[in-house]
Amino acid sequence: MNVTQTVEGLERYPVNIRYPQFYRDSPEQLALLPIVTPSGLRIALADVARVYIEDGPPGIKSENARINGWTFIDIENVDVGSYVDKAKAVVNAELDLPPGYSINWSGQYEYMLRAKEKLTYVVPLTLAIITILLFMSFRRFHEPLMIMATFPLGLVGGVWLLYVYDYNFSIAVGVGFIALAGLAVETAVIMLVYLNQAWNDLLERVQSGSTELNTSSITEAVKQGALLRVRPVLMTAISDLAGLLPVLYSTGTGAEIMSRLAAPLVGGMITAIALTLLIIPCVFALWKQYSAKKLSL
Protein backbone atom coordinates (compact mmCIF):
# COMPACT_ATOMS: atom_id res chain seq x y z
CA MET A 1 0.00 0.00 0.00
CA ASN A 2 1.13 3.57 -0.62
CA VAL A 3 2.00 5.34 2.62
CA THR A 4 3.39 8.64 1.34
CA GLN A 5 5.07 10.24 -1.65
CA THR A 6 8.47 11.78 -2.23
CA VAL A 7 8.96 15.13 -3.92
CA GLU A 8 12.01 15.59 -6.15
CA GLY A 9 11.75 18.96 -7.85
CA LEU A 10 8.70 18.81 -10.12
CA GLU A 11 8.54 15.01 -9.90
CA ARG A 12 6.32 13.05 -7.49
CA TYR A 13 6.96 9.39 -6.64
CA PRO A 14 4.76 7.21 -4.39
CA VAL A 15 6.37 5.33 -1.52
CA ASN A 16 4.74 1.97 -0.77
CA ILE A 17 5.25 -0.84 1.68
CA ARG A 18 5.09 -4.50 0.65
CA TYR A 19 6.23 -7.86 1.96
CA PRO A 20 9.68 -9.10 0.90
CA GLN A 21 9.82 -11.50 -2.02
CA PHE A 22 10.39 -14.65 0.07
CA TYR A 23 7.10 -14.04 1.91
CA ARG A 24 5.03 -14.10 -1.32
CA ASP A 25 6.85 -16.27 -3.85
CA SER A 26 4.43 -19.23 -3.60
CA PRO A 27 0.82 -19.96 -2.52
CA GLU A 28 2.13 -21.79 0.53
CA GLN A 29 4.13 -18.78 1.68
CA LEU A 30 1.16 -16.48 1.10
CA ALA A 31 -0.99 -18.81 3.23
CA LEU A 32 1.39 -18.29 6.15
CA LEU A 33 1.15 -14.50 6.16
CA PRO A 34 0.17 -13.26 9.64
CA ILE A 35 -3.07 -11.40 10.29
CA VAL A 36 -3.94 -9.46 13.46
CA THR A 37 -7.64 -9.63 14.33
CA PRO A 38 -9.54 -6.73 15.95
CA SER A 39 -9.30 -8.58 19.28
CA GLY A 40 -5.51 -8.78 19.00
CA LEU A 41 -5.21 -12.46 18.01
CA ARG A 42 -2.51 -13.37 15.49
CA ILE A 43 -3.56 -15.95 12.93
CA ALA A 44 -2.36 -17.04 9.50
CA LEU A 45 -4.03 -16.03 6.25
CA ALA A 46 -4.82 -19.69 5.57
CA ASP A 47 -7.13 -19.71 8.63
CA VAL A 48 -9.58 -17.30 7.01
CA ALA A 49 -8.91 -17.75 3.26
CA ARG A 50 -8.03 -20.41 0.72
CA VAL A 51 -4.96 -19.47 -1.32
CA TYR A 52 -4.53 -21.35 -4.62
CA ILE A 53 -3.63 -20.87 -8.28
CA GLU A 54 -6.39 -21.06 -10.85
CA ASP A 55 -6.32 -20.57 -14.62
CA GLY A 56 -8.53 -17.70 -15.70
CA PRO A 57 -10.17 -17.18 -19.09
CA PRO A 58 -7.67 -16.55 -21.91
CA GLY A 59 -7.52 -13.16 -23.58
CA ILE A 60 -9.50 -12.92 -26.79
CA LYS A 61 -7.97 -10.75 -29.52
CA SER A 62 -9.84 -9.40 -32.48
CA GLU A 63 -8.97 -7.29 -35.50
CA ASN A 64 -11.29 -6.05 -38.24
CA ALA A 65 -14.20 -7.57 -36.29
CA ARG A 66 -12.62 -11.05 -36.54
CA ILE A 67 -11.16 -13.14 -33.72
CA ASN A 68 -7.50 -13.91 -34.40
CA GLY A 69 -4.40 -15.53 -32.99
CA TRP A 70 -0.79 -14.52 -33.54
CA THR A 71 2.24 -16.64 -34.43
CA PHE A 72 5.54 -14.80 -34.06
CA ILE A 73 8.50 -15.79 -36.26
CA ASP A 74 12.14 -14.73 -35.92
CA ILE A 75 14.31 -15.01 -39.03
CA GLU A 76 18.06 -14.86 -39.49
CA ASN A 77 20.41 -14.56 -42.49
CA VAL A 78 17.51 -14.01 -44.91
CA ASP A 79 15.43 -11.01 -45.91
CA VAL A 80 11.79 -10.77 -44.91
CA GLY A 81 10.42 -10.82 -48.45
CA SER A 82 12.23 -14.01 -49.51
CA TYR A 83 11.32 -15.83 -46.29
CA VAL A 84 7.62 -14.96 -46.51
CA ASP A 85 7.44 -15.96 -50.18
CA LYS A 86 8.88 -19.40 -49.36
CA ALA A 87 6.73 -19.73 -46.23
CA LYS A 88 3.60 -18.87 -48.21
CA ALA A 89 4.37 -21.61 -50.72
CA VAL A 90 4.82 -24.20 -47.94
CA VAL A 91 1.70 -23.12 -46.04
CA ASN A 92 -0.47 -23.11 -49.15
CA ALA A 93 0.76 -26.58 -50.11
CA GLU A 94 0.48 -28.28 -46.71
CA LEU A 95 -2.26 -26.44 -44.78
CA ASP A 96 -5.97 -26.84 -45.43
CA LEU A 97 -7.92 -24.13 -43.63
CA PRO A 98 -11.47 -24.84 -42.44
CA PRO A 99 -14.26 -22.60 -43.75
CA GLY A 100 -14.19 -19.17 -42.12
CA TYR A 101 -10.44 -19.22 -41.39
CA SER A 102 -7.77 -17.17 -43.16
CA ILE A 103 -4.07 -16.35 -42.83
CA ASN A 104 -2.54 -12.90 -43.08
CA TRP A 105 1.19 -12.11 -43.04
CA SER A 106 1.81 -8.98 -41.01
CA GLY A 107 4.59 -7.30 -39.02
CA GLN A 108 7.72 -6.15 -40.84
CA TYR A 109 6.51 -7.86 -44.02
CA GLU A 110 3.43 -5.65 -44.07
CA TYR A 111 5.56 -2.54 -43.58
CA MET A 112 7.85 -3.69 -46.39
CA LEU A 113 4.91 -4.04 -48.79
CA ARG A 114 3.73 -0.53 -47.98
CA ALA A 115 7.20 0.91 -48.50
CA LYS A 116 7.63 -1.07 -51.72
CA GLU A 117 4.36 0.32 -53.02
CA LYS A 118 5.56 3.85 -52.31
CA LEU A 119 8.90 3.23 -54.02
CA THR A 120 7.12 2.08 -57.18
CA TYR A 121 6.06 5.67 -57.82
CA VAL A 122 8.70 7.58 -55.83
CA VAL A 123 11.59 6.27 -57.96
CA PRO A 124 9.99 7.09 -61.37
CA LEU A 125 8.88 10.45 -60.00
CA THR A 126 12.43 11.19 -58.86
CA LEU A 127 13.85 10.33 -62.28
CA ALA A 128 11.19 12.45 -63.97
CA ILE A 129 12.01 15.44 -61.75
CA ILE A 130 15.73 15.02 -62.48
CA THR A 131 15.04 14.92 -66.22
CA ILE A 132 12.86 18.05 -66.05
CA LEU A 133 15.50 19.93 -64.06
CA LEU A 134 18.18 18.88 -66.55
CA PHE A 135 16.07 20.12 -69.44
CA MET A 136 15.47 23.42 -67.66
CA SER A 137 19.22 23.76 -67.16
CA PHE A 138 20.38 22.91 -70.70
CA ARG A 139 17.27 23.97 -72.66
CA ARG A 140 17.57 20.95 -74.95
CA PHE A 141 17.25 17.17 -74.75
CA HIS A 142 20.73 16.11 -75.90
CA GLU A 143 22.54 16.55 -72.57
CA PRO A 144 19.68 15.22 -70.37
CA LEU A 145 19.39 12.19 -72.65
CA MET A 146 23.14 11.60 -72.43
CA ILE A 147 23.13 11.82 -68.62
CA MET A 148 20.05 9.65 -68.11
CA ALA A 149 21.42 7.04 -70.52
CA THR A 150 24.79 6.77 -68.76
CA PHE A 151 24.09 7.50 -65.09
CA PRO A 152 23.00 3.89 -64.30
CA LEU A 153 26.70 3.07 -64.66
CA GLY A 154 27.24 5.20 -61.56
CA LEU A 155 24.93 2.91 -59.59
CA VAL A 156 27.01 -0.19 -60.31
CA GLY A 157 29.42 0.53 -57.46
CA GLY A 158 26.56 0.67 -54.99
CA VAL A 159 25.33 -2.75 -56.14
CA TRP A 160 28.85 -4.20 -55.83
CA LEU A 161 29.29 -2.89 -52.29
CA LEU A 162 25.91 -4.29 -51.24
CA TYR A 163 27.07 -7.66 -52.56
CA VAL A 164 30.40 -7.41 -50.70
CA TYR A 165 28.69 -6.61 -47.38
CA ASP A 166 25.87 -9.12 -48.05
CA TYR A 167 23.19 -6.48 -47.53
CA ASN A 168 19.67 -7.26 -48.69
CA PHE A 169 17.59 -4.65 -50.45
CA SER A 170 15.65 -2.55 -47.95
CA ILE A 171 14.02 0.84 -47.71
CA ALA A 172 17.26 2.37 -46.44
CA VAL A 173 19.12 0.90 -49.42
CA GLY A 174 16.49 2.29 -51.79
CA VAL A 175 16.79 5.75 -50.27
CA GLY A 176 20.58 5.48 -50.61
CA PHE A 177 20.28 4.71 -54.32
CA ILE A 178 17.93 7.68 -54.82
CA ALA A 179 20.47 9.96 -53.15
CA LEU A 180 23.26 8.39 -55.22
CA ALA A 181 21.34 9.11 -58.42
CA GLY A 182 21.21 12.77 -57.48
CA LEU A 183 24.94 12.93 -56.75
CA ALA A 184 25.87 11.11 -59.97
CA VAL A 185 23.73 13.43 -62.05
CA GLU A 186 25.12 16.47 -60.24
CA THR A 187 28.73 15.62 -61.02
CA ALA A 188 27.81 14.76 -64.62
CA VAL A 189 26.14 18.16 -65.04
CA ILE A 190 29.26 19.91 -63.77
CA MET A 191 31.34 18.03 -66.32
CA LEU A 192 28.95 18.76 -69.21
CA VAL A 193 28.93 22.49 -68.46
CA TYR A 194 32.69 22.68 -69.00
CA LEU A 195 32.57 20.38 -72.01
CA ASN A 196 30.01 22.67 -73.62
CA GLN A 197 32.25 25.65 -72.91
CA ALA A 198 35.17 23.87 -74.57
CA TRP A 199 32.95 23.03 -77.54
CA ASN A 200 31.81 26.65 -77.91
CA ASP A 201 35.43 27.83 -77.78
CA LEU A 202 36.29 25.35 -80.52
CA LEU A 203 33.44 26.61 -82.70
CA GLU A 204 34.66 30.19 -82.25
CA ARG A 205 38.15 29.21 -83.36
CA VAL A 206 36.71 27.36 -86.35
CA GLN A 207 34.70 30.42 -87.37
CA SER A 208 37.75 32.63 -87.03
CA GLY A 209 39.72 30.24 -89.25
CA SER A 210 42.41 29.48 -86.67
CA THR A 211 41.59 25.75 -86.58
CA GLU A 212 39.60 23.10 -88.40
CA LEU A 213 36.63 21.11 -87.16
CA ASN A 214 37.74 17.49 -87.27
CA THR A 215 38.07 14.46 -85.02
CA SER A 216 41.41 15.46 -83.54
CA SER A 217 40.31 19.02 -82.71
CA ILE A 218 37.11 17.78 -81.10
CA THR A 219 39.04 15.24 -79.06
CA GLU A 220 41.53 17.86 -77.94
CA ALA A 221 38.73 20.27 -76.93
CA VAL A 222 36.98 17.56 -74.94
CA LYS A 223 40.24 16.71 -73.16
CA GLN A 224 40.80 20.33 -72.20
CA GLY A 225 37.25 20.70 -70.90
CA ALA A 226 37.40 17.45 -68.94
CA LEU A 227 40.80 18.22 -67.38
CA LEU A 228 39.41 21.45 -65.92
CA ARG A 229 36.90 19.43 -63.85
CA VAL A 230 39.15 16.63 -62.57
CA ARG A 231 40.08 18.35 -59.32
CA PRO A 232 36.57 19.68 -58.46
CA VAL A 233 34.99 16.28 -59.16
CA LEU A 234 37.60 14.47 -57.07
CA MET A 235 37.22 16.98 -54.24
CA THR A 236 33.44 16.52 -54.26
CA ALA A 237 33.70 12.72 -54.25
CA ILE A 238 36.41 12.58 -51.58
CA SER A 239 34.48 14.93 -49.26
CA ASP A 240 31.34 12.80 -49.69
CA LEU A 241 33.26 9.61 -48.98
CA ALA A 242 34.94 11.15 -45.92
CA GLY A 243 31.53 11.97 -44.49
CA LEU A 244 29.93 8.64 -45.38
CA LEU A 245 32.64 6.19 -44.27
CA PRO A 246 32.06 6.83 -40.52
CA VAL A 247 28.35 6.22 -41.11
CA LEU A 248 29.07 3.00 -43.01
CA TYR A 249 31.28 1.58 -40.24
CA SER A 250 29.32 2.94 -37.25
CA THR A 251 28.21 0.50 -34.55
CA GLY A 252 25.93 2.60 -32.35
CA THR A 253 22.17 2.91 -32.14
CA GLY A 254 20.57 2.90 -35.59
CA ALA A 255 23.76 1.69 -37.27
CA GLU A 256 21.93 -1.12 -39.11
CA ILE A 257 19.79 1.40 -40.97
CA MET A 258 22.43 4.07 -41.51
CA SER A 259 25.07 1.64 -42.79
CA ARG A 260 22.64 0.30 -45.40
CA LEU A 261 21.80 3.84 -46.44
CA ALA A 262 25.48 4.78 -46.75
CA ALA A 263 26.63 1.62 -48.58
CA PRO A 264 25.11 2.51 -51.99
CA LEU A 265 26.49 6.05 -51.70
CA VAL A 266 30.02 4.92 -50.83
CA GLY A 267 30.23 2.29 -53.56
CA GLY A 268 28.36 4.39 -56.09
CA MET A 269 30.56 7.46 -55.65
CA ILE A 270 33.57 5.43 -56.80
CA THR A 271 31.92 4.41 -60.07
CA ALA A 272 30.30 7.86 -60.37
CA ILE A 273 33.81 9.33 -60.56
CA ALA A 274 34.62 6.97 -63.43
CA LEU A 275 31.31 7.90 -65.07
CA THR A 276 32.01 11.63 -64.80
CA LEU A 277 35.69 11.61 -65.75
CA LEU A 278 35.69 8.90 -68.41
CA ILE A 279 32.28 7.90 -69.76
CA ILE A 280 30.66 11.34 -70.06
CA PRO A 281 33.62 12.91 -71.98
CA CYS A 282 33.79 9.90 -74.32
CA VAL A 283 30.07 9.99 -75.08
CA PHE A 284 30.23 13.77 -75.50
CA ALA A 285 33.13 13.46 -77.95
CA LEU A 286 31.32 10.80 -80.00
CA TRP A 287 28.19 12.93 -80.10
CA LYS A 288 30.08 16.03 -81.27
CA GLN A 289 32.02 14.05 -83.88
CA TYR A 290 28.71 12.76 -85.24
CA SER A 291 27.34 16.32 -85.26
CA ALA A 292 30.47 17.58 -87.06
CA LYS A 293 30.03 14.94 -89.77
CA LYS A 294 26.46 16.07 -90.33
CA LEU A 295 27.62 19.68 -90.57
CA SER A 296 30.26 18.75 -93.16
CA LEU A 297 27.63 16.88 -95.18
pLDDT of residue 295: 61
| Judgement on whether residues 40 and 144 belong to the same structural domain of the protein | no
Residue 65 inside a domain? The answer is no
Residue 182 inside a domain? The answer is yes
Residue 73 inside a domain? The answer is no
| Judgement on whether residues 125 and 38 belong to the same structural domain of the protein | no
Residue 227 inside a domain? The answer is yes
| Judgement on whether residues 121 and 35 belong to the same structural domain of the protein | no
Q: What is the pLDDT along the chain (297 residues), one digit of tens a residue?
A: 889 999 988 889 999 988 888 888 889 999 999 888 888 889 999 999 999 988 876 777 777 778 888 888 888 777 788 888 889 899 888 888 888 888 888 888 888 888 888 888 888 888 888 888 888 877 878 778 878 877 777 788 888 888 888 887 777 888 888 888 888 888 788 888 888 888 888 888 878 777 777 788 888 888 888 887 788 878 877 888 888 888 888 877 777 788 888 888 888 888 888 877 888 888 888 888 887 776 654
The one-letter amino acid code at 15 reads V
Which is it for strands 42-44 and 2-8: parallel, antiparallel or unpaired? unpaired
User: Residue 154: exposed, middle, or buried by beta-carbon count in 10 A (0-12, 13-18, 19+)?
Assistant: buried
| Judgement on whether residues 13 and 124 belong to the same structural domain of the protein | no
Residue 74 inside a domain? The answer is no
CATH number of the structural domain spanning residue 137: 1.20.1640.10
pLDDT of residue 66: 81
Residue 255 inside a domain? The answer is yes
| pLDDT per residue as tens digits for the range 129-186 | 888 888 887 787 877 887 887 777 778 888 888 888 888 777 788 888 888 888 888 8
**What is the rounded distance in angstroms from the CA atom of residue 240 to the CA atom of residue 269?**
8
* Full 3-state SS string of the chain: CEEEEEEECCEEEEEECCCCHHHCCCHHHHHCCEEECCCCCEEEHHHCCCCCCCCCCCCCEEECCEEECCCCCCCCCCCHHHHHHHHHHHHHHHCCCCCCCCCCCCCHHHHHHHHHHHHHHHHHHHHHHHHHHHHHHHCCCHHHHHHHHHHHHHHHHHHHHHHHHCCCCCHHHHHHHHHHHHHHHHHHHHHHHHHHHHHHHHHHHHHHCCCCCCHHHHHHHHHHHHHCCHHHHHHHHHHHHHHHHHHHCCCCCCHHHHHHHHHHHHHHHHHHHHHHHHHHHHHHHHHHHHHHHHHHC
- The answer to pTM > 0.75 is no
Residue 87 inside a domain? The answer is no
| Judgement on whether residues 131 and 277 belong to the same structural domain of the protein | yes
- CA distances 36 to 23, 41, 42, 44, 256, Å, are 17, 6, 5, 9, 59
| Judgement on whether residues 255 and 124 belong to the same structural domain of the protein | yes
| Judgement on whether residues 41 and 120 belong to the same structural domain of the protein | no
Residue 62 inside a domain? The answer is no
**What is the rounded distance in angstroms from the CA atom of residue 173 to the CA atom of residue 207?**
51
The domain in which residue 7 lies consists of 2-47
Rg over CA atoms, the chain? 35
- What is the number of domains present in the chain? 2
- CA distances 23 to 41, 52, 86, Å, are 20, 15, 52
